[in-house]
Chain A
Amino acid sequence: MNKKLKRNMKLAMSIFVALFVILIGYLGYSVLVYGRKWMATPYNPRLKNAISTMDGGSIYDRNGVKLVWTVDGKRYYHMEANIRRSCSHIIGDIYGKTVGAETMFADYIYGMNKSVFDRIQEVLLGEEGEGSDIALTIDANLSKYIYHNMDGKRGSVVVLNYQTGEILADVSILTFDPSTVNEDELEESSLVNRGTMGRYPPGSIMKIVTASAAIKEHIDLTYECTGECYIDGQRVSCTKAHGVQDLETAFKNSCNTYFANLSVKIGGDRLLAEAERFGFNKSFNFEDIILYSSSFQTSDSTGDVAWAGIGQYTDLITPMHAAMMAGAVANDGVMMEPLLLKSVDGGNNAGFRFGIRTYRRVMDESTAATLKAYMKEVVKSGTGTSAAISGYTVYGKTGTAEYYDENGEIQNHSWFVGFLDKEHPYVVAIIFEGAGFGSAYAAPMAATVFEYLVR
């Protein structure tokens, strides 16, 4: 046998070994990273199987309020209808209609994650066929309070702890009652968790991203707002002529013409890069929740860039992502991954995958401080004054997002994102669908929520 053949065979062997190492790496990687998502789909027959054969564990809120439990194989829910309805999207159902904690954490609740060793222990202790209890990060009473104050208006209110990412509330209207969801005739979109799956045009809350880009790139603009302007043939208007504006006053007054011109000056590419730094166009692969991705596009037309920079054009954002965005400003520029699972009772899981997870740093500390000062002004003397509460500093940004309804008429979503100082590290994102101006509907709701949070 000649040397060349031997050499080539050794080469082939190395290639094979490399391929198989890739195989092992990919298998481990994909199961560890995506396994939870693969399993937590309502289509997984194993879930239905487990639900029908195992006694699922109970689900508690962060303060120990028992929300769901099992007796004799039947799932029972909290007796108060408003608690059931305000937490329904977060908890989910057992029929595979929605993706909530019931499916995301089914491996714990129905004991599907138990290893051989756990099982042996269980058989010895006679505890077979039982799942673990779990506690979520949500506050059931806060959710009920929010649900009550939303007064049936369609929309979403998300409350996060911006330092840890814990979800305190994710209330969405329309909603459903998990105890009767299988029998009820539901209105369309009742099952949609608007907080994580509702993709809305962000409107002026997008100015946080645009302003961040301007601060980072040191782009300064002084501009006189006459109430309207034309960019590449597209008309951009304000509610009134704001007069001469700089970045701070324009942010406070939510001046569209200023931000339209600023966006053009920043340029489509840099604006897109900044939006993607904030998580737009990214598919979020979070451990605890399924969050739909937000989108941001620009085009060759400066008119489109201008509109994109003020949160219209094709921009879309979920309320959860909006809360994360404002939370990043509050948290010195670091965006946290939303958490839902607080603890698992029993089993070998405690401490295994819990803990705070940073999504990414989206801006440096000085940019965050500048933006924070701007957001303080918004509530102090700008468009968000109705979000203020006495005795505490509130930071925020209002938004009014235009969209066309089914009759082709322009309607406005009312947006507000805002947060409190670090003694109460909470951020809220509020949207009321088609309600009107952000300053008129969402901002007062924020004050209501903040009142509860500081109590």
Chain B
Amino acid sequence: MTIKLRSTKAILFLEMLFCLLAFSLLAFKTEYEIDFIALAVGGGLALFNLLTFNLARITFKHIDRFSFLTAQFLWTTGIVTIYRISQKYALKQLLVLLISVSLMFAVIAIFTKAKDFGRWNYAFMALTILLLASTLVLSRAIGGAKNWVDLGFFSLQPSEFAKVLFIMVSAYILSSRNKVRQMWSYILYVALCVVVLLLERDLGAGLLICGTFIIVFFTTTGRVFLTLSGVGVFAGGAYASYKLFSHVQTRVQVWKDPWATYDTDGYQIVQGLMALASGGLFGVGLGRGLPQVIPASHTDYIFTVIGEEFGIIFGIFIIIFYLVFIVRGILIALNAESRYDALLVFGCTAMLSLQSFIIIGGVIKLIPLTGITLPFISYGGSSLLSSLIQLSIIQAVSIKNGRRDEAELLEMGGRIQ
């Protein structure tokens, strides 16, 4: 299932070319002076991508090259777009990226060695709740949601790490218990997570955890009635929060007709739609759009900036890249040896794709907007690190699969080139 090295070389080359061209454009944007930092960032990032890909390929023989390159392309697009919006944010994001990708190697190593973290399961459960609840105590509110913890020198978004723990816990429980009645503690745990998130008014993460749970639960147990009741509880909860919270009501109204309140509640979505419309098919060109009028243009709304400056066709390519990611992820899950590994990869894939669907669907007004980050692209260190951990997990299982296949092939007397 590995692709030929030659085609990955071509993809890597194109990706580096994109990075260098985009940053050159940014560097020579004004006629008066050349932005040398942009050139350095562009060159550095291209080199970094080249190095990390080859290092990962050599260190771990069986990484999934396709999804690794896709993720690289997405984070490169992210850094380019963030740099265009704000140099300061881009440099911060770049720093987080360098550290996180280095950490990835350790994470991949851990997950290739580990069996299922069964001993740690209850500790993980407790840690998830603790992480989520910590923001209730130590938080400051950002944009209607309380999901940040300020540690003085930098701030963390604990729900991002809780997401990863949630996937691990889910994979363990659903692979080790066969009967639903053995899962009550797990179901309680999911409910608790969602309730805490709702209390923090972090609807995005709540929706994500809830949605991932329903998908993973149905896929493993195949219990239609139970899943439907889960969906029912979810719908009831959504309706209740619609009735209870005014900011949820506002969002639904804005989704129905953002133009009615274009200067107040609908402002963000209207600006996003105008940005997408101005971009047209080919975009207005990097650096020629007007992202400063779009609120949260570097985080949740980054897709509209990409749409405006690179064009709708490029935006569609971004969506296709996520699609590639999903398909690769599920193929790895299908090939996994143990049930735990399969569910781990499936959980990561489901969560990443659900997350990108929720936010892209929100900004293009397909579904009501819930503020979450676009995986790998949006500005935000916690979000990037969390996405990269999920990528590492997918890679780790791919490596395990590869080693097993290789061993089987050797046993049969085959040879690997």
- A binding-site residues for B, Cβ under 8 Å: 1, 4-6, 8-13, 16-17, 19-20, 22-24, 26-28, 30-31, 34-36, 38-39, 41, 43-46, 49, 107, 112-117, 119
Report the minimum CB–CB distance from A21 to chain B (whole Å): 8
- In the bound assembly, the distance between CA atoms of A8 and B174 in angstroms comes to 14
**Given contacts A20-B326, A38-B277, A116-B285, A5 and B342 within 8 Å (CB-CB):** yes
A17 touches B319 (CB 8 A): no
Indicate which residue in A27, A44, A45 contacts B364 across the interface (CB closer than 8 Å). Answer: A27
- In the bound assembly, the distance between CA atoms of A28 and B338 in angstroms comes to 41
**Given contacts A20-B319, A46-B274, A12 and B330 within 8 Å (CB-CB):** yes
Report the minimum CB–CB distance from B130 to chain A (whole Å): 30
Any A CB within 8 A of the CB of B365: yes
Any A CB within 8 A of the CB of B270: yes
**Given contacts A45-B290, A119-B285, A8 and B218 within 8 Å (CB-CB):** yes
A27 touches B316 (CB 8 A): yes
Contacts of B273 in A (CB 8 A): 38
Taking CB as reference atom, which chain A residue is nearest B343?
A5
* Interface range, B side: 35 or more
Any A CB within 8 A of the CB of B110: no
**Given contacts A28-B312, A38-B273, A20 and B339 within 8 Å (CB-CB):** no
Any A CB within 8 A of the CB of B104: no
A116 touches B339 (CB 8 A): no
Contacts of B350 in A (CB 8 A): 12, 16
- In the bound assembly, the distance between CA atoms of A114 and B283 in angstroms comes to 9
Any A CB within 8 A of the CB of B357: yes
Contact digits for B330-352, partner A, Cβ 8 Å, 1 yes 0 no? 10011011110010001000100
B274 touches A13 (CB 8 A): no
Any A CB within 8 A of the CB of B190: no
**Given contacts A9-B219, A26-B364, A39 and B339 within 8 Å (CB-CB):** no
B277 touches A31 (CB 8 A): yes
Report the minimum CB–CB distance from A46 to chain B (whole Å): 5
B219 touches A5 (CB 8 A): yes
**Given contacts A5-B342, A23-B366, A112 and B219 within 8 Å (CB-CB):** no
Any A CB within 8 A of the CB of B353: yes
**9 closest A-B pairs (Cβ-Cβ)?**
A35-B277, A38-B277, A115-B282, A8-B219, A39-B277, A13-B330, A38-B273, A20-B323, A45-B293
Contacts of B278 in A (CB 8 A): 39, 44, 46, 107, 112
- In the bound assembly, the distance between CA atoms of A111 and B69 in angstroms comes to 36
Contacts of A6 in B (CB 8 A): 334
Indicate which residue in B220, B263, B280, B293 contacts A115 across the interface (CB closer than 8 Å). Answer: B280
Any A CB within 8 A of the CB of B164: no
Report the minimum CB–CB distance from B363 to chain A (whole Å): 10
Known: A4-B222, A9-B333, A107-B280. 7 other contacts (CB 8 A): A1-B338, A5-B220, A6-B334, A16-B350, A20-B319, A20-B353, A27-B319
**Given contacts A5-B342, A13-B330, A20-B323, A26 and B219 within 8 Å (CB-CB):** no
A116 touches B283 (CB 8 A): yes
Taking CB as reference atom, which chain A residue is nearest B335?
A1
Q: Which of A11, A24, A49 has the most CB of B within 10 A?
A: A24
Report the minimum CB–CB distance from A451 to chain B (whole Å): 43
Any A CB within 8 A of the CB of B361: yes
A31 touches B276 (CB 8 A): yes
Contacts of B312 in A (CB 8 A): 27-28, 31
Any A CB within 8 A of the CB of B377: no
Contact digits for B297-339, partner A, Cβ 8 Å, 1 yes 0 no? 0000000000000001001100110110011001001101111
Contacts of B215 in A (CB 8 A): 12
Any A CB within 8 A of the CB of B262: yes
Taking CB as reference atom, which chain B residue is nearest A21?
B323
Contacts of A43 in B (CB 8 A): 262-263, 270, 274
Any A CB within 8 A of the CB of B131: no
Any A CB within 8 A of the CB of B284: yes
- In the bound assembly, the distance between CA atoms of A117 and B277 in angstroms comes to 18
- In the bound assembly, the distance between CA atoms of A12 and B342 in angstroms comes to 13
B346 touches A12 (CB 8 A): yes
A16 touches B219 (CB 8 A): no
Indicate which residue in A4, A17, A30, A39 contacts B323 across the interface (CB closer than 8 Å). Answer: A17
- In the bound assembly, the distance between CA atoms of A89 and B302 in angstroms comes to 37
Contacts of B334 in A (CB 8 A): 6, 9-10
Any A CB within 8 A of the CB of B162: no
**Given contacts A1-B336, A9-B333, A28-B316, A23 and B274 within 8 Å (CB-CB):** no
Report the minimum CB–CB distance from B224 to chain A (whole Å): 11
A9 touches B330 (CB 8 A): yes
- In the bound assembly, the distance between CA atoms of A22 and B342 in angstroms comes to 27
B274 touches A38 (CB 8 A): yes
**Given contacts A9-B342, A12-B330, A43-B262, A36 and B323 within 8 Å (CB-CB):** no
- In the bound assembly, the distance between CA atoms of A11 and B346 in angstroms comes to 12
5 A-B pairs with CB atoms under 8 Å apart are A9-B346, A12-B346, A17-B326, A20-B323, A39-B274
Indicate which residue in A9, A23, A44, A114 contacts B361 across the interface (CB closer than 8 Å). Answer: A23
Report the minimum CB–CB distance from A210 to chain B (whole Å): 33
Report the minimum CB–CB distance from A333 to chain B (whole Å): 34
- In the bound assembly, the distance between CA atoms of A115 and B281 in angstroms comes to 8
Any A CB within 8 A of the CB of B360: yes
Contacts of B285 in A (CB 8 A): 116, 119
A5 touches B339 (CB 8 A): yes
**Given contacts A5-B219, A28-B312, A23 and B276 within 8 Å (CB-CB):** no
Taking CB as reference atom, which chain B residue is nearest A35?
B277
- In the bound assembly, the distance between CA atoms of A16 and B271 in angstroms comes to 28
Report the minimum CB–CB distance from B24 to chain A (whole Å): 15
Report the minimum CB–CB distance from B274 to chain A (whole Å): 5
Taking CB as reference atom, which chain A residue is nearest B364?
A27
- In the bound assembly, the distance between CA atoms of A22 and B367 in angstroms comes to 12
Indicate which residue in A9, A10, A112 contacts B284 across the interface (CB closer than 8 Å). Answer: A112
- In the bound assembly, the distance between CA atoms of A31 and B346 in angstroms comes to 33
- In the bound assembly, the distance between CA atoms of A1 and B341 in angstroms comes to 10
Report the minimum CB–CB distance from A29 to chain B (whole Å): 10
Report the minimum CB–CB distance from A277 to chain B (whole Å): 26
Contacts of A8 in B (CB 8 A): 218-220, 222
Contacts of B333 in A (CB 8 A): 9
Contacts of B280 in A (CB 8 A): 31, 35, 107, 113, 115
A20 touches B364 (CB 8 A): no
- In the bound assembly, the distance between CA atoms of A8 and B217 in angstroms comes to 10
Contacts of A22 in B (CB 8 A): 366
B327 touches A17 (CB 8 A): yes
Contacts of A35 in B (CB 8 A): 276-277, 280
Report the minimum CB–CB distance from A6 to chain B (whole Å): 6
Contacts of B353 in A (CB 8 A): 16, 20
Report the minimum CB–CB distance from B325 to chain A (whole Å): 10
Report the minimum CB–CB distance from A108 to chain B (whole Å): 12
Contacts of A114 in B (CB 8 A): 284
Contacts of B218 in A (CB 8 A): 8, 12
Report the minimum CB–CB distance from A77 to chain B (whole Å): 26
Report the minimum CB–CB distance from B70 to chain A (whole Å): 14
A44 touches B282 (CB 8 A): no
Report the minimum CB–CB distance from A48 to chain B (whole Å): 10
Contact digits for B161-193, partner A, Cβ 8 Å, 1 yes 0 no? 000000000000000000000000000000000
Contacts of A23 in B (CB 8 A): 319, 357, 360-361, 364, 366
Taking CB as reference atom, which chain A residue is nearest B354?
A16
- In the bound assembly, the distance between CA atoms of A114 and B357 in angstroms comes to 30
Q: Which of A11, A43, A107 has the most CB of B within 10 A?
A: A43
Report the minimum CB–CB distance from A111 to chain B (whole Å): 10
Contacts of B316 in A (CB 8 A): 24, 27-28
